[in-house]
């Protein structure tokens, strides 16, 4: 019988490549995608802010009751750095999959961190599992 490791949160760190430049430069579109991803993952949206840099690039965050999801883009490289961190009852992997599909990522390196694993001495640690995806295949 496999034991369940108690954890405070799940954190997905995503390196997305081959993304559509026109989406990675559109703050409104990215905010819409991230809010829809939060809804798809059963997260409760509290606030959001997306900022467009000149001449290109977006940084944005959707704050959810469960924590946050964020993105930083380099459109000229087709690259996006994405974080999805949640605690509670939600489906963060669903948010990751939704975002990758909508930004047109051709490749993603995903690290899943189980965070806040209690140690016997009162401290906390985390575990990491990584994999690579080719969304849409």
Q: Is 87 one of the catalytic residues? A: yes
Q: Is residue 112 part of a domain?
A: yes
17 pLDDT more than 70 = yes
pLDDT, tens digit, 9 for 90 and up, residues 42-97: 999 999 999 999 889 999 999 999 999 999 999 999 999 999 999 888 999 999 99
Share of the chain above pLDDT 70, in %: 94
Q: What is the pLDDT of residue 89?
A: 86
Q: Is residue 125 part of a domain?
A: yes
18 pLDDT more than 80 = yes
Report residue 88: phi and psi, to 5°: 90, -165
Number of domains in the chain: 1
Q: What is the pLDDT of residue 4?
A: 56
Q: Which CATH number goes with the domain that contains 58?
A: 3.60.90.10
- Residue pair 101/135 in contact (Cβ under 8 Å)? The answer is yes
List the domain range (segments joined by +) for residue 129. 9-133
Q: What is the pLDDT of residue 8?
A: 85
- Residue pair 34/63 in contact (Cβ under 8 Å)? The answer is no
Q: Is residue 89 part of a domain?
A: yes
Q: What is the pLDDT of residue 1?
A: 47
Enter the DSSP assignment of 56.
Answer: S
Share of the chain above pLDDT 90, in %: 86
29 pLDDT more than 60 = yes
Angle, helices 27-40 vs 92-102, to 10°: value is 150
Of 48, 67, 70, 90, which residue is the catalytic one? Answer: 67
102 pLDDT more than 80 = yes
Region 24-41: mean pLDDT is 97
Q: Is residue 2 part of a domain?
A: no
Q: Is 19 one of the catalytic residues? A: no
- Could you tell me the pTM of the whole model? 0.90
Q: Is residue 35 part of a domain?
A: yes
Q: Is 67 one of the catalytic residues? A: yes
pLDDT averaged over every residue in the chain: 93
- Residue pair 121/105 in contact (Cβ under 8 Å)? The answer is no
Q: Is residue 69 part of a domain?
A: yes
């Amino acid at each position: 019988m496999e034991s369940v490791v108690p954890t405070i949160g799940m954190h997905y760190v995503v390196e997305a490549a081959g993304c559509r430049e026109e989406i990675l430069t559109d703050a409104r579109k990215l905010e819409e995608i991230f809010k829809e991803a939060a809804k798809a993952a059963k997260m409760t949206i509290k606030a959001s802010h997306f900022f467009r840099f000149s001449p290109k690039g977006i940084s944005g965050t959707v704050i959810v009751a469960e924590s946050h999801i964020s993105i930083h883009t380099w459109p000229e490289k087709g690259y996006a750095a994405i974080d999805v961190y949640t605690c509670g009852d939600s489906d963060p992997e669903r948010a990751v999959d939704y975002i990758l599909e909508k930004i047109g990522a051709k490749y993603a390196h995903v690290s899943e961190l189980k965070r806040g694993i209690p140690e016997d001495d009162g401290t906390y640690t985390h575990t990491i599992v990584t994999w690579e995806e080719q969304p849409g295949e």
